[in-house]
């Protein structure tokens, strides 16, 4: 039986290494455990969506065509591993000129909810930073902080009111926690 309508997840630092701005496909590398984790999570949802800030475009460090190539690679890898990834939402806003689409804003989540008819109160967000957890909390979603990427440096920033529901060493440990 499915537990979540959809699991949203961040990209950099959550499912792949985050060396900084990833400007081309050759610099993109999934964590070795990411596909295993996502496969395990298919027992509690049949929908995944990536929600990612990509300000490298507005900063002039990444070309949007290169980001699209990386996104296509992610989609292809998910298809090849039977992961039901519906879509990758990305926001190119510079943090100094951010719209509500840029996390911790909720815009991309609301777009996904409308496009795929999702009940956000029955969804989970997995990410490695406070900006991943805040929108989930604001929308009544459950949330999980993974300690990869920025997670270990962000885990002590939360107050009791805005803490994630779960915290895990990485997305695989988190998947095991949710499934077992």
- Catalytic (active site) residue 128: no
Q: Edge-to-edge strands of the sheet including 166-168?
A: 85-91, 48-53, 6-9, 123-127, 142-146, 166-168
Rg (the chain; Cα; Å): 15
Question: What DSSP element (H or E) covers 116?
Answer: helix 107-116
How far is residue 19's CA from residue 21's CA, in Å, rounded to a whole number? 7
How far is residue 131's CA from residue 154's CA, in Å, rounded to a whole number? 10
- Catalytic residue (choose from 12, 93, 128, 132): 12
- Catalytic (active site) residue 18: no
Residues 29, 166: contact at Cβ < 8 Å? no
Residues 93, 112: contact at Cβ < 8 Å? no
Quickly tell me which residue has 């915290």 as its tokens.
167
- Catalytic residue (choose from 5, 10, 93, 128): 10
Catalytic positions, written as ranges = 10, 12
């Amino acid at each position: 039986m499915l537990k979540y309508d959809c699991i949203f997840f961040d990209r950099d630092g959550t499912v792949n290494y985050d060396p900084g701005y990833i400007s081309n496909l050759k610099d993109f590398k999934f964590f070795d455990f990411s596909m295993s984790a996502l496969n395990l999570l298919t027992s509690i949802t049949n929908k995944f969506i990536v929600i990612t800030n990509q300000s490298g475009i507005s900063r002039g460090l990444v070309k949007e065509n290169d980001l699209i190539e990386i996104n296509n690679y992610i989609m292809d890898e998910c298809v090849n591993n039977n992961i039901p990834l519906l879509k990758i939402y990305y926001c190119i806003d510079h943090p100094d000129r951010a719209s509500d689409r840029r996390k911790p804003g909720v815009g991309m989540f609301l777009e996904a909810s409308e496009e795929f008819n999702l009940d956000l109160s029955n969804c989970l967000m997995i990410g490695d930073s406070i900006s991943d957890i805040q929108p989930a909390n604001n929308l009544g979603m459950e949330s999980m902080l993974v300690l990869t990427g920025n997670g270990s440096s962000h885990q002590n920033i939360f107050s009791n009111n805005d803490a994630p529901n779960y915290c895990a060493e990485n997305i695989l440990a988190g998947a095991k926690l949710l499934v077992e």
